[in-house]
């Protein structure tokens, strides 16, 4: 390994484990690498700008703003109410409401932290009031959040599509079945937990009139995914254009239909969304420069060769790849990880004959699990802030839900049809 590569890795690992924000870790490591390589620092600025010059990346601030508008416009609350009417009478039904609501909201926001915040803020106090342990409720909101990264419109799938130069529409389709499997698994966890506790009783079955009333109140919330995804797969607009349509839709429904959002509120909501978008775009820009630097030092090639040298059996290689990605997802921001490791992962996938869409889904699902995995899972931080519980306490209640995600990950890994069935229909 060259002196430049050693300097880059040493700086990055030292600063990251020292608690520095990931974007600054990447930026400082890039600067040190350029100095050691005796390259002008202006290269860093050039690569930062080049890393953001993609039309598809415009979808990210669009979907973030759409998710915030829908949350403040009352759409998430109506989704929860409709889901309550569907499953509240089942044993463990209130926990299932959290999962089902998160699944619906995932088809609107595309973000794990946003899904955890929108649904957890409503359901964690509600579940505790009905007899569920607060740590279990917070863990369930944490584990449900990453469904937002699997089901379209997923922000990480958009980023992987840009990095790997793959069809974002096909990647969106590849995430649907895994996301639904995780949701079903989490609902099963709720059922088992309810049966074991003996305290959480099923509510009375919703009457037809109550169901129709909830459906009428939530019809605009339920229509949102159909508008967004139907437009994409009906070739009416691209995923990037869909983000703008989602913003317009959320604005009209929140202000003029539900009337829970005032024009005066828009400035505050837009500023909050801009902060989130700026953080993500800053990480993308810095990670692009860092990724370019390690690419010219041939680190991705060395990592790929090291993994492939362990075994020539694709089953073993896929298992090692999963373990590697789960570790990366638990300690590193998933957006930065995809950009930095994109070249390495695509090289490994090509070597073992992995379908590029299958590989993309595999990468995103691994890193989505990392969003709920200690110590650096963003959804975990969001749930801790909402529930006012420590990360350690939530983590102890989280393990059955993480086990569900791991089982789905193994299905996705070794049964390609789980991710490729829907894209094959599109093809």
- Distance of alpha carbon 227 from alpha carbon 221, whole angstroms: 10
8 A C-beta contact, residue 316 and residue 277? no
Looking at residue 336, its pLDDT comes to 79
For residue 375, cis peptide bond before it (omega within 30 degrees of 0): yes
Q: DSSP letters along 321-356, please? A: HHHHHHHHHHHS-HHHHHHHHHHHHHHHHHHTT--H
- Distance of alpha carbon 63 from alpha carbon 106, whole angstroms: 11
Closest C-alpha to 261, from 271, 272, 250, 245: 250
Check whether 362 has a pLDDT greater than 90: yes
Alpha helices in 91-238 (DSSP H): 93-109, 112-129, 134-144, 147-150, 155-164, 168-197, 208-217, 219-233
Closest C-alpha to 6, from 258, 277, 302: 302
- Distance of alpha carbon 186 from alpha carbon 408, whole angstroms: 11
Looking at residue 41, its pLDDT comes to 85
Residue-wise pLDDT tens digits, 92-143? 888 888 898 888 888 777 777 778 887 888 888 888 887 888 999 999 989 9
The full length of the chain comes to 427
Q: DSSP letters along 15-34, please? A: HHHTT--HHHHHHHHHHHHH
- Distance of alpha carbon 304 from alpha carbon 157, whole angstroms: 22
Question: Mean pLDDT, to the nearest integer, of 286-304?
Answer: 79
Question: Mean pLDDT, to the nearest integer, of 163-189?
Answer: 91
- Distance of alpha carbon 395 from alpha carbon 24, whole angstroms: 27
Residue-wise pLDDT tens digits, 178-201? 999 999 999 999 988 888 876 555
Q: CB count, 10 Å around CB of 77?
A: 20
Looking at residue 331, its pLDDT comes to 72
8 A C-beta contact, residue 330 and residue 376? yes
Looking at residue 201, its pLDDT comes to 56
- Distance of alpha carbon 398 from alpha carbon 372, whole angstroms: 8
Check whether 258 has a pLDDT greater than 80: yes
Check whether 44 has a pLDDT greater than 90: no
Q: Of 188-192, 293-297, 321-325, where does mean pLDDT reach its minimum? A: 293-297
8 A C-beta contact, residue 395 and residue 374? yes
Q: How far is CA 280 from CA 58, 129, 202, 303, 334, in A?
A: 12, 35, 41, 26, 10
- Distance of alpha carbon 136 from alpha carbon 347, whole angstroms: 40
Looking at residue 81, its pLDDT comes to 81
For residue 376, cis peptide bond before it (omega within 30 degrees of 0): no
Would you place residue 412 in the very low, low, confident or very high pLDDT band (cuts 50, 70, 90)?
very high
8 A C-beta contact, residue 200 and residue 92? yes
In sequence order, the 6+-apart residues with CB closer than 8 A to the CB of 413 are: 318, 319, 322, 362
- Distance of alpha carbon 268 from alpha carbon 279, whole angstroms: 17
Instruction: Report DSSP state, residue 38.
Output: T
Instruction: Report DSSP state, residue 177.
Output: H
Looking at residue 45, its pLDDT comes to 86
The gap between the terminal CA atoms of the chain, to the nearest Å, is 43
Looking at residue 409, its pLDDT comes to 93
Check whether 381 has a pLDDT greater than 70: yes
- Distance of alpha carbon 171 from alpha carbon 354, whole angstroms: 14
8 A C-beta contact, residue 237 and residue 245? yes
Check whether 203 has a pLDDT greater than 70: no
What is this structure's pTM?
A: 0.82
- Distance of alpha carbon 82 from alpha carbon 74, whole angstroms: 13
Would you place residue 72 in the very low, low, confident or very high pLDDT band (cuts 50, 70, 90)?
confident
**SS3 state at 101:** helix
Closest C-alpha to 135, from 315, 363, 397: 397
Question: Mean pLDDT across the chain, nearest whole number?
Answer: 84
Give residue 165's region: left, alpha or beta (phi > 0; psi -120 to 50). Answer: left
Residue-wise pLDDT tens digits, 212-239? 888 888 888 888 888 887 887 777 888 8
Looking at residue 407, its pLDDT comes to 94
Please tell me the number of Cα atoms within 13 Å of 284 on its side-chain side. 24
Looking at residue 406, its pLDDT comes to 93
Looking at residue 198, its pLDDT comes to 67
């Amino acid at each position: 390994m060259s002196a430049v590569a050693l300097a880059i890795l040493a700086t990055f690992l030292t600063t990251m484990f020292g608690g520095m924000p990931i974007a600054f870790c990447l930026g400082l490591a890039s600067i040190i690498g350029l100095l050691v390589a005796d390259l002008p620092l202006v290269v860093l600025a050039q690569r930062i700008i080049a890393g953001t010059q993609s039309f598809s990346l415009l979808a990210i601030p669009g979907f973030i703003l759409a998710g915030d508008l829908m949350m403040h416009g009352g759409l998430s609350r109506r989704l929860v109410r409709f889901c309550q009417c569907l499953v509240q009478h089942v044993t463990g039904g209130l926990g299932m409401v959290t999962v089902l609501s998160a699944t619906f909201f995932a088809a609107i926001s595309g973000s794990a932290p946003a899904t955890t915040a929108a649904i957890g803020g409503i359901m964690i106090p509600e579940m505790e009031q009905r007899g569920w342990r607060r740590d279990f409720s917070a863990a369930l909101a944490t584990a449900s959040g990453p469904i937002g990264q699997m089901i379209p419109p997923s922000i990480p799938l958009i980023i992987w599509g840009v990095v790997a130069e793959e069809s974002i529409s096909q990647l969106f389709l590849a995430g649907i079945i895994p996301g639904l499997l995780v949701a079903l698994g989490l609902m099963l966890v709720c059922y088992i937990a309810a049966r074991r506790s003996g305290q959480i009783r099923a509510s009375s079955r919703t009457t037809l009139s109550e169901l129709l009333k909830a459906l009428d109140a939530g019809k605009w919330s339920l229509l949102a995914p159909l508008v967004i995804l139907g437009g994409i797969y009906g070739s009416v607009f691209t995923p990037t254009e869909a983000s703008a349509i989602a913003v317009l839709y959320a604005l009209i429904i929140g202000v003029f239909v539900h009337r829970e959002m005032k024009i005066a509120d828009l400035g505050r909501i837009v500023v909050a969304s801009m902060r989130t978008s700026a953080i993500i775009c800053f990480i993308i820009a810095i990670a692009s420069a860092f990724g370019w630097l390690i690419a010219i030092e041939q680190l991705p090639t060395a990592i790929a060769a090291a993994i492939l040298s362990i075994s020539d059996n694709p089953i073993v290689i896929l298992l090692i790849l999963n373990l590697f990605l789960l570790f990366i997802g638990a300690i590193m921001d998933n957006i930065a990880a995809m950009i930095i490791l994109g070249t390495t992962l695509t090289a490994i996938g090509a070597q073992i004959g992995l379908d590029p869409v299958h590989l993309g889904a595999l990468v995103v699902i691994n890193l989505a699990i990392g969003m709920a995995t200690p110590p650096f899972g963003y959804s975990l931080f969001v749930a801790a802030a909402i529930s006012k519980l420590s990360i350690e306490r939530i983590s102890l209640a989280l393990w059955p839900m993480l086990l569900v995600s791991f089982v789905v990950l193994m299905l996705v890994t070794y049964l390609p049809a789980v991710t490729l069935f829907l894209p094959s229909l599109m093809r």
